[in-house]
Structure 1
Amino acid sequence: MVADETALDLHDIQAGVLRPRPTPYAATYILFRIDDPVAGRHMIGRLAEVVSPAAGSEAAIDRAVSVALTFAGLKALGVPQASLDSFAWEFQQGMVARASALGDVGESAPDHWEKPLGTADVHVVLVVTARDQAMLEAALDRVRPAFEQLAGVVPIWRQDCHALPNEKEPFGFRDGISHPGVEGSGIPGSNPLEAPLKAGEFVLGYRDEMGGFPPMPEPAALGRNGTYVVFRKLHQRVAEFRRFLKASAADAAEEEWIAAKMMGRWRSGAPLALCPLHDDPELGADASRSNTFLFQKDDPVGYATPRGSHCRRMNPRDTPVAGEVRLHRMIRRGTAYGPLLPEGVLEDDGKDRGLMFAFVGSHLKRQFEFVQSEWINDGVFLGLENARDPVTGSPDGDGSFSIPRKPIPKRLRGLSRFVVTRGGEYCFMPSLTALRWLAAPEG
């Protein structure tokens, strides 16, 4: 039996699946190891009482609590083998086993990850977000009784994050602009030119863009209204990125132009598709306009937005590519961590900074893994041979990026790895019903 095809059960789906986060906000990620299945089920049952549902107004999620589990975590809870076997194969393998396909090689390889990320000790991921630090602490005070003084459950890692009022990430670009609409959610997407996607692309138990139902963990009480979530800690080499821009440009104005061409947007968030010649901070700050555009219709060659730019790779929109773009759409969220490198500084200060990245979707392989391997770390789908994403790809000093212009394109060479994977996890974010199922002795 499947959920109603026309309306999402927002009271059963976690807010972390569908609800955009407030702006600005503070957040924290806490990882847990379960040493005793009974204690683990007690914790999951307590968390089920404080997890935020997707239903309600924006004000209702000023403070949101989300819970996800790794495959090792489900096993640690004592989930029956038949249920474990029903999860997606990629999820069962885990991110470490998928590292090569994801481009997590060299410095980004799991051998270099920040422990305990990527280890069998990571069982539960707790994410708490709030509009400011004071509200975050209040939300944590409400959550702590779920795990504190509970023998057999051990917090093993924490990462505090933030979204600044200007919504900029460490490289200096406004982030979190583009997100798809989900049919039946009542939550609009950021691009009115893009029809809402079928709910099954992001929530299990509903029809997806293929017209069928994504494979769902069994029993239905465990799988329905849940989804897969990918968490990744991505360290950003801000000083190196700045040095590359300076070495590639004749002056500061050209540095900004090159940065915009690599990203597909100016640092303000204004898209090159709408203002290709100069930045427009007012446009960049206007959520009603900053994502309302297509690529192929007005810019097939990429004179405004290069076909190989980060934004055009992550969401080609109407650009003709191999396959169907809507089959690879994702809900993506990035939360900055660490102190910003002061403006103008070109030498690394040794401090850790970057993004905690989250992907939400029903299909790990054809959404997250496809985009990472085929669109980020390859260029064949856009006719760019093996050119990688100029910002988040994984070249090691031998990358290149071409900026179309007349009469001669500008070609950048010597791109290095500006973003290094520091760790990550494949998780399952259960529904509220499933959390209670997992807390039950027979769960």
Structure 2
Amino acid sequence: MSDLPHADIQGFILRTYAMPVLRVFALKITQVEAARRFLGKLVNGESEPQLATATDWTVKPQYCLNVGLTYTGLAALELPASSLASFPEEFAAGAPARADRVSDTGESSPDHWKGQLASADLHILLFLFAETEDILEEITDQLRTGYSSHDAMAELSVHEGRSLSGNAAHFGYRDGFAQPTIDGGLPPLMPDVLPKAPAGEFLLGYPSQYSDFTYPVPTPAELGRNGSFVAFRILAQDCHGFERFLTEAARQTGLDRELIAAKLCGRWRNGVPLSLSPDSADECILLEQRNSFDYVPSDSAPDAFDDRRGYRCPLGSHIRRMNPRNSRVAGNSGLKHRIIRRGLPYGPPYDPANPDDGIERGLLGLFIGVSLKDQFEFLMSDWGNRGNLAPGLRDTRDPIIGDNSRPGATFLIPIEGQKRPVELAGLSSFVICRGAAYCFLPSATAIHYISTLPATSSTPGVITTTI
């Protein structure tokens, strides 16, 4: 298809910013007209700060600002009832009400979420990415001046993300691979050998990958078209527990602990996929080559090793569950349910010499797609926390992000020439959800539309939903 209207689309849908600093503001609308004016100024092309769109960069900006609106936020902005009714059921229900579907139970349940993220008062998330700490503080001051003006919004909480050395996540794996290439969009930082994803998988108003199907666009069109949805999640990582598990699994099986770490993820910690290098973390495989693989020979990778049994990369590994590529999986849907991932770690690097420092660390994650239900929720439930992705997984779950709190949770490593896989016992939930929100990502046109709605009451009322 021809190029998308980049100037109307929020930038982080189509582009990786690669900025080292992130601050997320959780806000409550307290004065409707003032809140609308604040949002309108973000897209007026005049005063700073401005919404970051997907317009081509001639010079990389010093910051990028994006906006997410919850369903209760749209209601608090007093959108017409017909518009509110046109949004998908899962978005209207919100992340707390859908927690069970994505295994946010036990320690991950909304009862334990922080920053008032489980509250119906959560209306807006502002995502501020910056190149430096000084720029972050400068734009933060401007934002706070703007949303506190005329009591437009109250700050519920603020959440900080910072990049780690080597673009790593807290478990030590290099991150940032395997982003889909969107037809009509911008090229990803890492080349992707898989077919381009239709724009309608990530933007409302365009054909999806399903024949003759386009996801419904919230009405009116100027509100819904070119928008998307995001699941924002604060994911605490138990680094000490993860490293302890690797050591114990190596002791029990005789396998190298770094090989076990690679089998759990599907990549060595430097990002080299097992599919390309099953025996070592081969640094000779260049960064730009570390996403050029498949699990079976395919049009995307005709020379790929046929790993249908998972001898190189286990079927239940994290990256194979989240993106099976051309693997044969239930419903022949390996190339469906793709998702855009953004975010940054939070908390200081893990220090093995001081493993019990009592400091929380993890990921501020943004998971973007046109359907929260068919993309994010499907990945977390059907593929991440059930064994029905492919035959032979039994009742296992994603070994890294899955809910492995139940007794007897295991991970299976198939070994060529052996009838039975190596079974790793002693798994636990290494990732705990500490907060989540479902947000609509409106286009620049939609934000302008909201800002120019007819004047209504000044103070938003109590919002209820029966969904």
TM-score of the pair, normalised by structure 2: 0.89
User: How far has the Cα of 1:407 moved from its partner?
Assistant: 4.0
2:222 equivalent in structure 1: 221
Equivalent position of 1:128 in the other structure: 128
- Aligned mates of 1:281, 1:103 — CA distance in 2: 36
Alignment of 1:410 onto 2:412: no
Report the residue type matching 1:386 in the other structure.
Answer: D
CA distance in 2, matches of 1:189, 1:242: 30
C-alpha separation in 2, matches of 1:421 and 1:90: 18
Partner of 2:96: 96
Q: Contact 1:170/1:353 (CA < 8 Å) preserved in 2?
A: yes
CA-CA distance at 1:32 after TM superposition: 0.5
| Structure 1 unpaired stretches of 5+ | none
Deviation at 1:188, TM superposition (A): 4.1
- Over aligned residues, Cα RMSD in angstroms? 1.9
Match of 1:335 among 319, 329, 344: 344
The secondary structure found in structure 1 opposite 2:389 is: helix
Equivalent positions of 1:179-258 (< 5 A) are: 179-188=179-188, 190-210=190-210, 211-250=212-251, 254-258=256-260
Q: CA deviation at 1:131?
A: 2.4
Corresponding residue for residue 157 of structure 1: 157
SS at match of 1:149: helix
Are the counterparts in 2 of residues 190 and 292 from structure 1 also a CA contact under 8 Å?
no
Shift of 1:334: 3.3
How far does residue 206 in structure 1 lie from its aligned partner after superposition? Answer: 1.1
Secondary structure at the counterpart of residue 325 of structure 1? coil
1:30 counterpart = 2:25: yes
In structure 2, the partner of 1:440 is 452
Tell me if the contact between 1:52 and 1:61 (Cα under 8 Å) persists in the aligned partners. no
Among 4, 8, 16, the alignment partner of 2:4 is 8
1:344/1:305 Cα in 2 relative to 1: closer, same or farther (>3 Å)? Answer: farther
Change in 2 beyond 3 A, CA 1:367/1:228: same
Q: Where does 1:243-322 land on structure 2 (aligned, <5 Å)?
A: 243-250=244-251, 254-283=256-285, 286-297=286-297, 298=305, 299-322=307-330
1:372 is the counterpart of 2:380? yes
Residue 431 of structure 1 corresponds to: 443
Partner SS state of residue 48, structure 1: coil
Contact 2:21/2:132, CA 8 A, preserved across alignment:
yes
How far residue 134 of structure 1 moved from its aligned partner, in angstroms, is: 2.8
Match of 1:84, SS? Answer: helix
1:352 aligns with 2:355: no
Query: Which amino acid letter does the alignment assign opposite residue 355 of structure 1?
Result: L
Q: Do the aligned partners of 1:398 and 1:416 also contact (CA within 8 Å) in 2?
A: no
| Aligned-partner residue type, residue 390 of structure 1 | P
SS of aligned partner of 2:128: strand
Match of 2:47 in 1: none
For residue 142 of structure 1, report the CA deviation from its aligned partner: 4.5
**Residue aligned with 2:149, SS:** coil
SS in 2 for 1:92: helix
**What is the distance in 1 between the residues matched to 2:204 and 2:312?**
38
Q: In 2, Cα distance between the equivalents of 1:380 and 1:197? A: 24
Aligned to 2:432: 420
Q: Contact (CA 8 Å) 2:115, 2:156: kept in 1 or not?
A: no
The answer on whether the counterparts of 2:232 and 2:438 sit within 8 Å (CA) in structure 1 is yes
State the number of aligned residues.
Answer: 435
Q: Deviations over 1:394-432 (max 9, x none)?
A: 011421001111444321012111000111000001000
Q: Distance in 2 between matches of 1:435 and 1:294?
A: 40
Q: CA deviation at 1:76?
A: 0.7
SS in 2 for 1:193: coil
Match for residue 391 of structure 1?
400
Verify the 8 A CA contact 1:399 1:413 in the aligned structure 2.
yes
State the distance in 2 between where 1:442 and 1:227 align. Answer: 25
Which residue identity is paired with 2:244?
A: R
* SS of residue paired to 2:8: coil
SS at structure 1 position matched to 2:96: coil
Cα deviation digits, residues 371-401 of structure 1 (max 9, x gap):
1100100121212122100011001142100
Go from structure 1 to structure 2 and tell me whether the alpha carbon gap of 1:115 and 1:144 turns closer, same or farther (over 3 Å shift).
closer
The aligned counterpart of 2:55 is 55
2: distance between equivalents of 1:186 and 1:107? Answer: 38
Cα gap change, 1:59/1:266 in structure 2, threshold over 3 Å: closer, same or farther?
farther
Provide the TM-score with structure 1 as the length reference.
0.94
Distance 1:186 1:333 in 2: 15
Amino acid at match of 2:17: R
Q: 1:99 to 1:338 in 2, by over 3 A?
A: same
Shift of 1:7: 2.6
Q: Percent identity?
A: 38
Structure 1 contact 403–410 (Cα < 8 Å) conserved: yes
| Deviation of 1:61 (Å) | 4.3
How far apart are 1:207 and its partner, in Å? 1.1
Residue matched to 2:411: 401
Q: Which amino acid aligns with 2:366?
A: A
Matches of 1:363 and 1:248 in 2, distance apart?
A: 38
Whether the 8 Å CA contact 1:169–1:336 is kept in 2: the answer is: yes
Partners in 2 of 1:368 and 1:58 — Cα distance? 33
Distance in 2, matches of 1:58 and 1:415, equals 48
User: Are 1:71 and 2:67 matched, yes or no?
Assistant: no
Offset from partner CA, 1:2-60 (integer Å, 9 cap, x none): xxx633100000102111121x5111101110012112212211223410110112743
Matched to 1:264, the amino acid is G
Distance 1:164 1:240 in 2: 20
| Matches of 2:206 and 2:186, distance apart in 1 | 15
| Cα drift, residue 348 of structure 1 | 2.6
Contact 1:181 1:190 in 2 (8 A): no
